[in-house]
Amino acid sequence: METFNKLESEVRSYIRSFPAVFESAKGSKLYDENGNEYIDFFAGAGTLNYGHNNPIVSKALIEYLKQDGVVHGLDIATTAKREFMEKFNDTILKPRHMEYKFQFCGPTGTDAVETALKLARMVKGRSNIIAFTNAFHGMTMGSMSATANEFYREEAFTNRSDVTFVPFDGYFDQEVDTASILKQLLEDKSSGLDLPAAIILETIQAEGGINVASKEWLQEIENLCHEYDILLIVDDIQVGNGRTGSFFSFEEAGINPDIITLSKSIGGGLPLSLVLMKPELDQWEPGQHSGTFRGNNLAFIAASRLLSYWEDDKLSREICKKEQLLRDRLKDISQEYDTMETYIRGRGLIYGLQIPDANFCSDVSAEAFSQGLVIELSGAESDVIKFLPPLVIEEEILEEGLDIVEEAIYTVYNRRESINQILNYDQVYQNESINQELDQKDTINQILDQKDSINHVLNQKESINQIMNSK
């Protein structure tokens, strides 16, 4: 760790939660330099849905490199890119009756969000964008301006104009229909809300605390988009790629976004990000939006191979089964600690266990790590333990990881109880000492009072003597 502490910027973060030097990884496990094994419930923040070093990918990459396949090529035509687009079209889009054009952006998720926002603004000729409370869309200027958390929105960092934040589904409580509030704001010519080019949303806010939008809410938002001529952008970077059980997270809601952003797991751990746009929105001039690393050919090779997981519904069925297991275990834990007012939220293999005490959750994550589990937190207050295992995790390993979480919660809970008992004992002890001191003080005061009376009597005796003497 010394090299990292000395040479790497203070900005490093996950290394602080997981202080080990990792050397290798396979499936749903990581191994450090000292030979310790860790179960991965973090999956590279949703990048390793198909596990670390998926053998299908490793084999294909080695073969491609051996044949001197093109690795870098800006946006020239390559065999690897063609294969990916055809496979994606045939395996994902056509069976869902979806027609979209591909735009490859810079390598990471935030590049796809930047592209989507720029495209929507260009097509609609409007600057405003609607984003939601607790949204997370990335760390570059445009994406960050649509990211809600104040930690990232330092005034000096981001352009705060041209994005209006409105409440996400369930922001107040489930009784308040935030889609109707948005409708009212759009309807009212005096609401101050500028008609936006697009509404950007995550169907499940992963970084924002595992907030799950209901399908009815998503449908209402889509209706608003149609009614007011607004484009709907679904940012499926973290919860797409099968995370919720279907390839796209919005399939259950039956909505039809104008623009979809994809990244993270699409490249099986290699950087790749893309925008899917309805064909009529493809109004770019050639080269109007560019970048050196558009489309990573190694990632195309990985992505094409991984799409074979979606040729039938086997993976979806497995996710559904593992979701049941995960949810049941979380319910049991939640019931066990009912005094802590825990909440469970999630869908597919992304779940959050909210324990409204940020330090409790970070203690659980640290304790779990010491027992061989990598698990992160989410939410503005870091009070949600985030369960994000690879989709291909074996059931026994999922159970093993959940045992570690349960054990970690038990340890942290009991440690806290013991500390509280000691503090209470200290308080009682302190109170007793204080009472004893007060008793002593009373006795002294009584003695002093008695002294006063004796002095008084003595003074009186003195006066009498004086009178007697003068006579």
Ligand X SMILES: Cc1ncc(COP(=O)(O)O)c(C=O)c1O
Residues found near ligand X in the complex (CB under 6 A): 45, 108-110, 113, 136-138, 202, 206-207, 235, 237-238, 263
The 10 Å Cβ neighbour count of residue 384 is: 28
Which residue's CB atom is positioned nearest to ligand X? 109
Comparison of 110 and 211: residue with beta carbon closer to ligand X: 110
The 10 Å Cβ neighbour count of residue 307 is: 18
Cβ 142 vs Cβ 114: under 8 Å:
yes
Six-digit token string for 44? 């590279």
Beta bridge partners of 204: 212
Name the CA radius of gyration of the chain, rounded. 31
Beta bridge partners of 277: 101, 259
Comparison of 137 and 322: residue with beta carbon closer to ligand X: 137
Minimum gap (Å) between residue 113 Cβ and ligand X? 5
Q: Where are the alpha helices (DSSP H) in 96-204?
A: 109-124, 141-145, 178-187
From CA 437, how far away is CA 68, in angstroms rounded? 86
Minimum gap (Å) between residue 263 Cβ and ligand X? 5
Comparison of 57 and 206: residue with beta carbon closer to ligand X: 206
Closest CA to 261 of 90, 86, 140: 140
Closest CA to 278 of 218, 213, 234: 234
Minimum gap (Å) between residue 395 Cβ and ligand X? 26
Cβ 105 vs Cβ 114: under 8 Å:
yes
For residue 90, the 8-state DSSP code is I
Question: Measured at the alpha carbon of residue 189, what is the angle toward residues 183 and 195, in degrees to the nearest 5?
Answer: 65
Cβ 272 vs Cβ 238: under 8 Å:
no
Minimum gap (Å) between residue 276 Cβ and ligand X? 14
Comparison of 142 and 196: residue with beta carbon closer to ligand X: 142
Comparison of 61 and 105: residue with beta carbon closer to ligand X: 105
Closest CA to 296 of 100, 84, 57, 137: 84
Minimum gap (Å) between residue 224 Cβ and ligand X? 21
Minimum gap (Å) between residue 365 Cβ and ligand X? 17
Residue for token pair 């107040």? 172
Comparison of 238 and 296: residue with beta carbon closer to ligand X: 238
Minimum gap (Å) between residue 273 Cβ and ligand X? 7
From CA 355, how far away is CA 209, in angstroms rounded? 11
Minimum gap (Å) between residue 143 Cβ and ligand X? 6
Comparison of 329 and 345: residue with beta carbon closer to ligand X: 345
Comparison of 240 and 413: residue with beta carbon closer to ligand X: 240
Minimum gap (Å) between residue 236 Cβ and ligand X? 8
Comparison of 114 and 323: residue with beta carbon closer to ligand X: 114
Burial class (CB in 10 A: 0-12, 13-18, 19+), 13: exposed
